[in-house]
Amino acid sequence: MKISGIKISLVGVILFVLISNIYSQPSNPCLCNRSQCGDIIASFKLVSNSTVVCDGYVFEVQNNSTIADVSYFVWDWGDNTRDTVFTTSNQTHTYNIPDDKVCDDTQTTYQICLLAVKNCSNGYSCHNNNSPVTVIHRPVARFNFTNSVCVDRNVNFTNTSCNVNTSDPEAYLWTFHDGTTAITRNVSKIYDMPGTYPVRLKVKNICGDHDTIQYIQVVDFPDAKVNISGSARDSVVCVGDVITLIDTSNIWSVNNRWTFPVNNVNRDTLQWKLSHFIRKRDSLSMGLRDSIPFIDTLVIETLRAGTYTFRLTSTNACGMSMWDFPLRVVAAPMISLPTPPSLCESGNYTPGSNIITGDIISVRWDFPGGNPSSSTMRNPGNIFYAGPGTYPVTLTVIAACDTIIRMINVFVADRTPVNILDANPRVFCQSSSPYTFMADLPGGDWSGPGIVNTTTGTFNPSSLTPQLYHHL
């Protein structure tokens, strides 16, 4: 019969229907006992004469059925696989325990069913024979450990292997990078040098062996270090300075993290701020993660005087290392040095107490011709000049941010006779007009009754009573 170009064998259709009918019985898919064509007996055994086989290994079964004119045999292996054959020849099979089930138990038992079928004009005869077979699960090597460990510390390797023949003294074999071995279930080891090392575990049972290799990282102690820009190497900078901090920690320092003054990393402060391009780099994360604490280079602008501590913390399996940088920001000093008053013949010059403000390192006053001639005090007190002259005063202020020098002169005048270029005494009436006295030396101040302008020496007699007056 040919349908749509597909040739279908009538015998094949009958065979398919027959097998389907036989396996449609819900209680036991391999149960069949019918004798329409006479009695038949299905019989088999494992060639090895054992009912134990190994996971992943081929085993052989021998068909011992004695049936004349057999139609076919169905081998049901119990693992959802079947083989249909038409001879009594030996058959082979392999049980493969799934990887996700292999460690659930040490063994699994399957029922092998041999179904014999004979067809005839009256119908068919069938008979089945069942026999259990135990499958020993293959061994699987597994172990746990801490992936990153510290040099010179004990490391424990915990065996989590399955299906191992623990009665075998050589069921476990550990092999390390240096050639040392161990046959205990669990093992420990000390690594005296940092590096990455292989660890191999081999396990076995009666069905074979299995090994696995894992790698352990041995680290040395972290050492958090930071390279600081030159202007800040003494931990003192000036307001407005820009400093750079570069993470130069050793290779064992991981999980490095910056900690900022008052834990402020998300915005600029009134005291300091991160440079704009550092902020721009952080913005690339779209706010999903604050990356600034983990970058390797910081650029900071100082805004206000104060002390601000920046910290870098490095951690690994050996412990923690911290680098602290107390940054002292100072303002440039300010000097207000007023012009000293003129002295006559001799006298004291007193600079004052509020001339210098701000953070300074040192002060030096120089008073040539004065007593004392120098001072390192902010307020040097009284400086005495014994005679007339022009004396220079130099103030030198050294600060972290600047060195400032200011110079002034102290003038000590000599006493010189002054002659009034008028009749002495000169007679005025109360009604006389204002008069300007003249002297033979310019400058100076006029004083006396009736003097209305001390600079020009203008005299007005209108407010005076008649008598003799003296003017200077």
Q: Homologous superfamily of 143-219 in CATH?
A: Immunoglobulins (2.60.40.10)
Burial class (CB in 10 A: 0-12, 13-18, 19+), 380: buried
Residue among 471, 469, 428, 437 at smallest CA distance from 456 = 437
Q: Which of 92-101, 142-151, 200-209, 306-315 has the lowest mean pLDDT?
A: 306-315
The length of the chain is: 472
Four-way CATH pick for 334-413: 2.60.40.10, 1.10.260.30, 3.40.50.300, 1.10.357.10: 2.60.40.10
Percent of the chain whose pLDDT exceeds 90? 52
Q: Which of 144-148, 284-288, 315-319 has the lowest mean pLDDT?
A: 284-288
Peptide bond into 380 cis (omega under 30): no
The chain-wide mean pLDDT, for the chain, equals: 85
Same CATH topology for 18-136 and 143-219: the answer is yes
Peptide bond into 425 cis (omega under 30): yes
Strands 343-344 and 403-413: parallel
CATH 2.60.40.10 fits 18-136, yes or no: yes
For residue 395, what pLDDT is reported? 94
Residue 161, SS3 per DSSP:
coil
pLDDT tens digit sequence for 256-284: 888 888 666 556 678 888 876 665 544 44
Half-sphere exposure of 416 (CA within 13 A, CB side): 11
More confident residue, 22 or 336: 336
Mean pLDDT of 297-305: 87
Question: Does an H or E element contain 276, and which?
Answer: helix 276-283
Which string of DSSP letters, residue by residue, matches 378-414?
SS---EEE-SSEEEEEEEEEE-SS-EEEEEEEEEEEP
Going from the C-alpha of 329 to that of each of 301, 332, 398, the distances in angstroms are 10, 10, 16
Residue 142, SS3 per DSSP:
coil
Question: Which of the 8 DSSP states describes residue 354?
Answer: S
More confident residue, 289 or 143: 143
Q: Do residues 137 and 106 touch, judged by C-beta distance below 8 A?
A: yes
d(C-alpha 455, C-alpha 444), whole Å: 7
Q: Which of 75-89, 180-194, 431-445 has the lowest mean pLDDT?
A: 431-445
For residue 3, what pLDDT is reported? 30
Question: What is the domain partition of the chain in residue ranges?
Answer: 18-136, 143-219, 226-319, 334-413, 417-472
Question: Whole-prediction pTM value?
Answer: 0.64
More confident residue, 233 or 193: 193
Q: Do residues 308 and 272 touch, judged by C-beta distance below 8 A?
A: yes
Reported confidence tier of residue 353, pLDDT bands at 50, 70, 90:
confident
For residue 8, what pLDDT is reported? 33
pLDDT tens digit sequence for 52-92: 999 999 999 999 998 888 999 999 999 999 999 999 999 99
- Which residue is associated with the tokens 């020496």? 457
**242: its two tokens:** 């820009």
Mean pLDDT of 118-132: 94
Reported confidence tier of residue 193, pLDDT bands at 50, 70, 90:
very high
**42: its two tokens:** 């299905």
For residue 4, what pLDDT is reported? 31
What's the alpha-carbon Rg for the chain, to the nearest Å? Answer: 55
Mean pLDDT of 414-435: 80
Q: Is the pLDDT of residue 234 over 70?
A: no
Q: Is the pLDDT of residue 289 over 50?
A: no
Q: Is the pLDDT of residue 25 over 80?
A: no
Going from the C-alpha of 446 to that of each of 342, 421, 453, the distances in angstroms are 17, 14, 8
Q: Which of 24-33, 189-198, 360-369 has the lowest mean pLDDT?
A: 24-33
- Which residue is associated with the tokens 């680098």? 323
More confident residue, 273 or 423: 273
Mean pLDDT of 27-38: 78
Q: Is the pLDDT of residue 230 over 90?
A: no
Q: Is the pLDDT of residue 326 over 80?
A: yes
